[in-house]
Amino acid sequence: MDVQTCLVTGAAGFIGSHLAERLLDDGYAVIGVDCFTDYYPRAFKESNLEGLRGRPGFRFIEGDLGRMDLDALLDGVAFVFHQAAQAGVRASWGQSFAVYTDLNILTTQKLLEAARRASHLHKFVCASSSSVYGDSPELPLRESGPVAPVSPYGVTKLAAEHLARLYAANFGLPTVSLRYFTVYGPRQRPDMAFHKFLRAIYAGEPIPVYGDGEQTRDFTFVADAVAANVACMHHGAPGSYFNIGGGSRVTLNHCLEVLREVTGRPVCIARHDPQHGDVRHTWADTTAAQTVLGFQPQVSLQEGLAAEAAWYRDVVLARGLDRA
C-alpha cells in the first residue's frame, strides 16, 4: 500500500510539531514547512523539531509559503494541515496588522488557490480560532452563533476561515476549519498564558493577571487538538467548521491554583487592568465535533498542566530557552 503524504504548515510551531509527529506515528509521510518568523525566539522552534528531524518519512522545508512554488510543494500531497499563522491577540494592533493580513489571509488564499489545482488532494484542514466569536454573551459558543472578533488577529482568522469555505462552495475544495479554544501543553509558545505563568513561578516572580482573574477559558490540551485534525482526514463535509474545546472551562484563578499544585511552588499574583482585545469568557459547544468527527477530549486540565510544567522544567529551564 502506498504511503500517503501530508503537508503540515507551521510544522516547527506548537501545534504543528505535535501534529507532524502524530501523522508520522500513524504511518503517513510528512512534509513540514515553517518560515521561522521572529514572533518568538527560533530556539524554541528548533527544539520543537528535534523529535522530527531525521525520522523516516519526514522532510522539512524552511520557507515562506507566500513566496514558494506552491504547485510543486503540493504535488502528490493528499492532506494539507494549514497550521501556520501569525499568532497573538495583543500584538495584532497598529502597524503590525500588515503582518497578520499577509501571513493569515493572503498566504492562506495562495495556498487554497494552489490546493484546488492539486490532483491528489483529499482534505484541506485549516486552523481557525475561538477568537472569531469575540466577546459573545451567548454561552456556550456554537458554530451557528454570531461571530464578531474583538481583535485584529480574530478578524484575520475569520477571514481565512471564510476563504476556506468559499473555496469549498465555489470549487469543491474539501476544506474543514477547526476553531481552537485556548490550546495548551508542552511546547506552548512563550507568549501564551500558561508558559508565561510557569516562567514567573520558576523564577519566583509575580504573575501578571489582567482583570479580576474570574475570566474563563475552555482549555484544550494539544494532543486533543491534534486528534481533531486527524479525525478531519476522513470526516467533515467540504466547507464545514467545528469548535475544538477541551471541556475544561475554568477561571484563571482556578488555573493558578492548579499550577501551584503541579509545580509545588508558591504563586504570587500582580493585578493589572484588562487588555484591549481580550474576551471575558470562552466556552465551546463541541456537539458538532463529537457527532461528525467523533471528537472527545481525553486529557484533564490537571494532567495537561502537569505535562506542560514537566516540559517547562526539563526542556525550557534545562536549556535556558526563555533566556534566548
- Mean pLDDT within 185-197: 97
In degrees and rounded to multiples of 5, residue 270 shows phi and psi of: -115, 120
Q: Average the pLDDT over 8-19 and give the result.
A: 98
- Can you say whether the dihedral through the CA atoms of 168, 172, 173, 177 is positive or negative? positive
Give the domain CATH number at 308.
3.40.50.720
pLDDT of res. 41: 95
Tell me how many degrees the CA angle 302-246-295 measures, rounded to the nearest 5: 130
d(CA 283, CA 222): 17
- What is the tens place of the pLDDT at every residue in 213-260? 999 999 999 999 999 999 999 999 999 999 999 987 899 999 999 999
The pLDDT, as a whole number, for residue 276 is 80
User: Mean pLDDT in the chain?
Assistant: 96
**Interval 64-93 mean pLDDT:** 96
Q: How would residue 90 be classed by pLDDT, with cut points 50, 70 and 90?
A: confident
Examine the pLDDT at 274 and tell me if it is beyond 70.
Answer: yes
Asked if the model's pLDDT at residue 279 lies above 90, the reply is no
Percent of the chain with pLDDT over 70: 99
Residues spanned by the domain of 231: 5-323
**What percentage of the chain has pLDDT greater than the value 90?**
94
Dihedral over alpha carbons 111, 35, 130, 247 (to 10 degrees): 110
pLDDT over threshold 70, residue 1: no
- The set of residues, in sequence order, having a beta carbon less than 8 Å from that of 115 and lying 6+ positions away, is 74, 80, 121, 124, 167, 173
What's the whole-number mean pLDDT along residues 18-30? Answer: 98
Query: pLDDT of 136-181, one tens digit each?
Result: 989 999 999 999 999 999 999 999 999 999 999 999 999 999 999 9
pLDDT at 247: 86
Residue 323 has pLDDT above 90, yes or no: no
Phi, psi (degrees; rounded to nearest 5) at 132: -65, -25
Number of domains in the chain: 1
Sign of dihedral through CA atoms 231, 233, 238, 239?
positive
**pLDDT (mean) for 86-97:** 92
pLDDT at residue 324, rounded to an integer: 67
Rounded Cα–Cα distance for residues 253 and 244 (Å): 23
Which grid cell is 210? 489582567
Active site (catalytic) residues: 153
Count of alpha carbons within 13 angstroms of residue 246, beta-carbon side? 27
Residue, of 11 and 277, whose pLDDT is higher: 11
Coil, helix or strand for 59?
strand
Q: What are φ and ψ of residue 125, in 5° steps?
A: -105, 125
| 96 residue type, one letter | S
Residue the block writes with cell 519566583: 204
> Mean pLDDT over residues 100-105, rounded?
97
pLDDT at position 85: 97
169-188 confidence digits (pLDDT tens) = 999 999 999 999 999 999 99
Beta strands 29-34; 175-180: pairing state: unpaired
- Cell match 497573538: residue? 88
Band the pLDDT of 278: cuts 50, 70, 90: confident
